[in-house]
């Protein structure tokens, strides 16, 4: 609580918040793992862990996600789900605008019988 008669701090003098790149990466990694847990549930084969990297040019975040996905599957739908979840969680938890989420499918892992 402010003392009576104390002036409010001018917004420009309050300072600023800097979120470390590794924080963005951890949030994005958790979002990717949540989506992939749903995708791989009940399957006998598993994929390698995802790889997430971020770039923070200015006041926005760019995220790159490299994953292995099951095949056959709706790859476009899975990629869209990853982009949406990562973008929403990073923006929601940090307040930083996500300019781009790139999903790179490194490998398709076959499962089941055809």
Tens of pLDDT, residues 47-92 = 889 999 999 988 899 999 999 999 888 999 999 999 999 999 999 9
Examine the pLDDT at 100 and tell me if it is beyond 60: yes
Task: Give the single-character DSSP code of 14.
Answer: S
Enter the pTM of the model.
0.80
C-alpha to C-alpha distances, 3 to 10, 11, 13, 14, nearest whole angstrom: 16, 18, 19, 17
When the pLDDT of each residue in the chain is averaged and rounded to a whole number, the result is 87
């Amino acid at each position: 609580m402010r003392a009576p008669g104390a002036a409010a701090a001018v917004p420009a003098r309050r300072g600023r918040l800097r979120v470390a790149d590794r924080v963005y990466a951890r949030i994005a990694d958790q979002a990717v793992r949540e989506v992939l847990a749903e995708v791989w549930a009940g399957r006998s084969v598993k994929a390698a862990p995802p790889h997430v990297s971020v770039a923070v040019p200015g006041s926005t975040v760019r995220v790159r996600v490299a994953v292995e996905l099951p095949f056959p599957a709706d790859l476009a739908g899975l990629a869209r789900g990853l982009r949406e979840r990562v973008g929403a969680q990073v923006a929601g938890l940090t307040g930083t605008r996500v300019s781009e989420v790139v999903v790179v499918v490194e490998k398709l892992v076959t499962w089941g019988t055809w």
